[in-house]
Amino acid sequence: MLGPSLLYGFLAAASTATAYSHSTHINYTVVTGIFQQDDNATNPSTFNFTASNFGLIERSYPSDSSCPDSKHSTQWQRLAHYISTLNNKAKRNERYALFFMGRHGEGYHNAAETYFGTPAWNCYWSELNGNATVTWADAHLTETGAAQANSVNTFWKNLIKDEKITPPETYYTSPLYRCLDTAKLTFAGLDLPRKNPFVPTIKELLREGISAHTCDRRSNKIYIHKNFPSFKFEKGFVEEDPFWTKLHAEPSADQDIRSKAVLDDILSNDASTYMSITSHSGEIASLLRVLGHRVFSLSTGAAIPVLVKATTLTGDGPATPTLPYTPQSTCTAPPTIRDSSCNDCSCCL
């Protein structure tokens, strides 16, 4: 496994030709038929995860007959038994893990994009730290965003109390403020097992796809620690943002490489079966691609569970070229059109 510092070096060396070389790699597949979200028939734009028990499909599992008190067990209890039988029967190089991936609630950058319209946001305003009244660099949650996270907290309370869900054993979050705060509000005050308290680990590579927008530039480590003193930093987390580069953007192929790297890193160092990830719309989309899950866009504050089979294979994974960050063009004044077809800033004024 590449250690974080080596990984950062690898990612920062933007023009290296080959990605990883380690002697094993992890192959991911989604175990389908468990959640409505992994079914092509479910429409992501109308799906409501809190109204549908997180999308858990009501069904029997092959392991039900050995589930203690199966008749009086909830669907989540029978799923937990099923996952544990899958893990007990798995080959030595296989394991099953359930990820709960949550997108942050609405941030000031989301509200600003709506307010200015996408072309003016992308080509002008997003490159600034804010305007006279609002800051969107490393955006905080709006009141709406905090309310979204609080309602997911209520949802988790009910899942634990009524549905007897197995809560996450470990928690990971993006280093951007909107995710740190969303994780804190989502998991505060839950009735969690004493051995698995909410102490999230901040992971650099769970951050949003890096664009020229100042909302993708993280704060320094001292500031994060001051605001979230109980959160842990992964090993090698550096003081200043090592990636964000003025007027440059991370290519999406690079993003998938680092999404795989962070998943491999988590699974190589954490034996948990239930894990929470708090991240962003673009980054969760990338994690889902790496896991082989179908496209499933999340609105602000939404979350998705994914049951994954991870197989450790010997031999190097496919070598993937890493591309250099691409320069971004902007406008010297905000474009006046609101039509989101203008993403290359060809519509300046």
| Contacts to ligand NAG from residues 93-122, by CB under 6 A | 111-112, 115
For residue 104, indicate whether it is catalytic: yes
Phi, psi (deg, nearest 5) at residue 326: -100, 140
H helix or E strand, kind and range, residue 29: strand 24-30
Q: Is 133 in the site for ligand NAG (CB under 6 A)?
A: yes
Position 134 contacts ligand NAG (CB under 6 A): yes
User: In the complex, what is the shortest distance from the CB of residue 152 to ligand NAG, in angstroms, rounded to a whole number?
Assistant: 11
d(CA 309, CA 153): 27
Smallest distance, ligand NAG to C-beta of residue 151, A: 7
Distance CA 105, CA 77 (A): 29
CA proximity to 258, closest of 95, 94, 14: 14
Helix extents (H) in 199-251: 221-227
Whichever of 248 and 289 has its CB closer to ligand NAG, that residue is 289
Asked whether position 36 contacts ligand NAG by CB under 6 A, the answer is no
For residue 84, give the DSSP letter.
Answer: H
Considering the candidates 127, 169, 208, 250, report the single residue annotated as catalytic.
208
Stretch that binds ligand NAG, among 80-88, 132-140, 177-185, 251-259 (CB under 6 A): 132-140
Under rule CB under 6 A, which residues in 269-298 are in contact with ligand NAG?
Answer: 292, 294
Among 16, 18, 21, 27, binds ligand NAG (CB under 6 A): 27
Let me know if 227 is exposed, middle or buried by CB neighbors in 10 A (0-12, 13-18, 19+).
middle
Binding mask 194-223 toward ligand NAG (x if CB under 6 A, else -) reads: ------------------------------
Residue 311 binding ligand NAG, by CB under 6 A: yes
- Cβ-count burial of 220 within 10 angstroms (0-12 exposed, 13-18 middle, 19+ buried)? middle
| Contact between 132 and ligand NAG per CB under 6 A | yes
Using a 10 angstrom Cβ sphere, with 0-12 exposed, 13-18 middle and 19 or more buried, the burial of residue 135 is middle
Q: How far is the CB of 132 from ligand NAG (least distance, A)?
A: 4
Query: Using CA atoms, how far apart are residues 153 and 174, in angstroms rounded to an integer?
Result: 18
**Per rule CB under 6 A, is residue 48 in the interface with ligand NAG?**
yes
Residue numbers of the site for ligand NAG (CB under 6 A)?
27-29, 40, 48, 50-51, 111-112, 115, 131-134, 292, 294, 311, 313
Catalytic residues: 104, 208
